[in-house]
A and B are shown apart, each in its own frame.
Chain A
Amino acid sequence: EAGVAQSPRYKIIEKRQSVAFWCNPISGHATLYWYQQILGQGPKLLIQFQNNGVVDDSQLPKDRFSAERLKGVDSTLKIQPAKLEDSAVYLCASSRLLNTEAFFGQGTRLTVV
């Protein structure tokens, strides 16, 4: 079974630029999550999708972050404009059913300079 795929693996941008991350979850997984992991911290949930609908985006900074999940499969997370404090690893995860374990991708490491 293929795992959660994310791209790119690394991205360096200047502050105020925009950036987008892509995620392809495990086949058949209805639930998709985006987490932000700052160096030395645990992952922090940004947004949860169930199929193509948003279930929880209470911790998403909506003035600069946006996310969508097309046709209930792939998802894109966008930051516009980026700030220095957005430097982090952005992790995508998926789970087959609600309240079951989530499987994580390798993440995208974003550096904002």
Chain B
Amino acid sequence: EDQVTQSPEALRLQEGESSSLNCSYTVSGLRGLFWYRQDPGKGPEFLFTLYSAGEEKEKERLKATLTKKESFLHITAPKPEDSATYLCAVQAGSGGGADGLTFGKGTHLIIQP
């Protein structure tokens, strides 16, 4: 069974204080690892897809990295508008066209001014 564990569950940072969120996973044949951002009362918003160990992707103050067992979402000099829940999900190579995601519980990030 595919499993995704995110840590910490919650993180409070001061504006400008850089940090990293962790996503560890076990999956039978990783097809892709996804990061989403979710604001209260809204659906998840796509951020990144990583496909192979060593891959990195950046978008503004966010950088996602991938190893064979975990992924990190690095947040550099965050601003209050970066406050949200960050969700990690894996897509397994189960075949047959099934490509639904298995999500972790998320990290609730609060950036204080």
| Pairing of A with B | yes
* Bitwise interface map of B from 70 to 101 toward A, beta carbon under 8 Å scored 1, else 0: 00000000000000000101010000111111
A interface list, Cβ under 8 A from B: 4, 31, 33, 40-45, 48, 50, 55-56, 91, 93, 98-107
Question: In the assembled complex, which residues on chain B have CB atoms less than 8 Å from the CB atom of A41?
Answer: 105
B interface list, Cβ under 8 A from A: 4, 31-32, 34, 36, 41-46, 49, 87, 89, 91, 96-106
B43→A42 contact, CB < 8 A? no
A48→B43 contact, CB < 8 A? no
Q: In angstroms, how far is the closest chain A Cβ from the Cβ of B59?
A: 13
Which of B32, B91, B97, B102 has the most chain A CB within a 10 Å cutoff?
B97
Question: In the assembled complex, which residues on chain B have CB atoms less than 8 Å from the CB atom of A42?
Answer: 4, 87, 89, 103-106
Q: In angstroms, how far is the closest chain A Cβ from the Cβ of B73?
A: 15
B98→A55 contact, CB < 8 A? yes
Question: In the assembled complex, which residues on chain A have CB atoms less than 8 Å from the CB atom of B99?
Answer: 31, 48, 98-99
Question: In the assembled complex, which residues on chain B have CB atoms less than 8 Å from the CB atom of A107?
Answer: 42-43
Q: In angstroms, how far is the closest chain A Cβ from the Cβ of B103?
A: 3
Among candidates B91, B97, B104, residue contacting A50 with C-beta atoms closer than 8 Å: B97
Which A-chain residue is minimally distant from B103 (CB atoms)?
Answer: A42
Question: In the assembled complex, which residues on chain B have CB atoms less than 8 Å from the CB atom of A56?
Answer: 96-98, 100
Given contacts A44-B103, A48-B100, A104-B44, 9 further A-B contacts (CB under 8 A): A33-B100, A41-B105, A42-B106, A45-B102, A50-B97, A99-B32, A102-B101, A104-B45, A106-B43
Question: In the assembled complex, which residues on chain A have CB atoms less than 8 Å from the CB atom of B4?
Answer: 42
B105→A45 contact, CB < 8 A? no
B43→A99 contact, CB < 8 A? no
B104→A106 contact, CB < 8 A? no
Given contacts A101-B34, A102-B46, whether A45 and B87 have CB atoms under 8 Å apart is no
Among candidates B42, B98, B105, B106, residue contacting A48 with C-beta atoms closer than 8 Å: B98
